[in-house]
Amino acid sequence: MLADVIESTIGAAYLHGDVHLGYVACAFFELGLKNWHPLAHRYGQMLSQLDAGQDLPLAVVQNVESMLGYTFKHKILLVEALTHASCETNHGTVSYERLEFLGDSVLDMVVTDYLYRAPGKNYSPGHIHLRRSALVNAHTLAYFCLRCSVTIQSSMAHPDDEGSIVLESEDNDIYLWKCLLHSSSRVMEDQATTFARFQKQKNSVEEAMTSGGIFPWAALVRLQAPKFFSDMIESLIGATFLDSEGSMDAAKGVMRRLGILQLMERIVKDDVDVLHPVSRLSMWATNADKKLEYKFPREKGNITCIVTAGGDELASETDVYRGRATQEEVKFAAAETAVRSLRLRTGRKEDLDFVKKRKRKAKSTTAKSES
């Protein structure tokens, strides 16, 4: 309770005077840190320490700036946001890991602020958590990374039938994920296979995100996107935030360009069901006093998930077995099919009660393990 009072006081300061007063409240409580310099000083200090970089990949920088709709004053920050830990080329920067950590926090802040202030909603903490989880998880961010691109027009010279040189223009799509700076054959292989899966799933995911009533958890999980896809989104948001000296508007501009804010606004406006289908089904089974089971028979290179409740089959989904991740894919897909067939879409109170129960159970488990 005492910890809650500290956090709520900082939240009240933020609501009253935005980030700056929230920062002052944090400085007042110290929180284990002594040097809470003014924000302007902090940003100036960090930006002044940036190295100019060596032989920056300017073509990559320009392409990504076009995708994000933001021009960096410190280009080295953008290069850092695109640099994978495996990169062996010396651009005068470290990998994106620190910026990713910062961007994750900024993204959380923007989404939480919007959901807290959503007109006419007055979401409870449990419902803010549900919607935020749908927006900022690795699967969703990877989807936005995979679809982000810019079209570049290039000219090619070739001889015509009379032997004269003719210039022909053609459009080339440059994707954000291709701008990752790395030196890993494994990363290259993961990029190609994930993008191939994305091309198969993108239409169904796009339709669900723009007009569907249920969040497309199963389709997003089927992308099997490695973490570096979502890392890129977070590191780019962090780089934008730092380059703009802490401008939330600049960070929001990049998020809107990527499509994150549009999805967030639609989830609120259309009251999209964002509870995970496995959790939704579990909640229904608990309320109906039925035993829920998932079975995974494998046959002829395929794996099937059969969902039963009280011995009755609710749904089943089959896919080609490609490793352990496939089992999770068919489980989510089968749960989603069951949710649709049962037409499960409970009221807000039931969702909140379910979230509270899960949190209490998690705290109880943690407390037991600590004792």
pLDDT in tens, 2-42: 999 999 999 999 999 999 999 999 999 999 888 899 888 88
Eight-state DSSP code of residue 74: S
Number of domains observed in the structure of the chain: 3
Distance from C-alpha of 98 to C-alpha of 81, rounded to nearest angstrom: 9
Question: Which amino acid, 177?
Answer: W
**Measuring CA to CA, how many Å separate 219 from each of 29, 344, 348?**
44, 19, 24
Same-domain check for residues 117 and 211: yes
Same-domain check for residues 330 and 261: no
Asked whether residue 172 is domain-assigned, the answer is no
Phi and psi torsions of 219, nearest 5°? -65, -35
Instruction: Say what the pTM is.
Output: 0.84
Asked whether residue 163 is domain-assigned, the answer is no
User: DSSP labels for 133-150?
Assistant: HHHHSHHHHHHHHHH-EE
Distance from C-alpha of 75 to C-alpha of 65, rounded to nearest angstrom: 10
Is 54's pLDDT higher than 70?
yes
Same-domain check for residues 338 and 361: yes
Given a contact cutoff of 8 angstroms between Cβ atoms, the answer to whether 137 and 231 are in contact is: no
Same-domain check for residues 358 and 210: no
Asked whether residue 116 is domain-assigned, the answer is yes
pLDDT band at 92 (very low <50, low <70, confident <90, very high): confident
Asked whether residue 11 is domain-assigned, the answer is yes
Predicted pLDDT of residue 249: 96
Stated length of the chain: 371
Residue at token pair 């089927």: 222
Residue 106, classed as helix, strand or coil, is helix
Same-domain check for residues 290 and 320: yes
Among candidate residues 269, 303, 325, the one where a domain is terminated: 269
Among candidate residues 243, 269, 295, the one where a domain is terminated: 269
Can you give the CATH number for the domain in which 284 is found? 3.30.160
pLDDT band at 370 (very low <50, low <70, confident <90, very high): low
Predicted pLDDT of residue 368: 53
Same-domain check for residues 336 and 263: no
Same-domain check for residues 19 and 48: no
Asked whether residue 164 is domain-assigned, the answer is no
Asked whether residue 82 is domain-assigned, the answer is yes
Can you give the CATH number for the domain in which 227 is found? 1.10.1520.10
Same-domain check for residues 31 and 71: no
Question: Which of 9-18, 100-109, 226-235, 312-321 is least confident?
Answer: 312-321
Distance from C-alpha of 82 to C-alpha of 130, rounded to nearest angstrom: 30
Asked whether residue 343 is domain-assigned, the answer is yes
Given a contact cutoff of 8 angstroms between Cβ atoms, the answer to whether 61 and 77 are in contact is: no
Same-domain check for residues 224 and 333: no
Same-domain check for residues 73 and 114: yes
Asked whether residue 168 is domain-assigned, the answer is no
Report pLDDT digits (tens) over 169-190: 677 899 999 999 999 999 999 9
Same-domain check for residues 199 and 143: yes
Question: Which amino acid, 169?
Answer: S
Distance from C-alpha of 82 to C-alpha of 234, rounded to nearest angstrom: 11
Same-domain check for residues 18 and 56: no
What would the mean pLDDT of 30-58 be, rounded to a whole number? Answer: 86
What would the mean pLDDT of 146-170 be, rounded to a whole number? Answer: 76
User: Which residue range is the domain that position 298 belongs to?
Assistant: 277-370
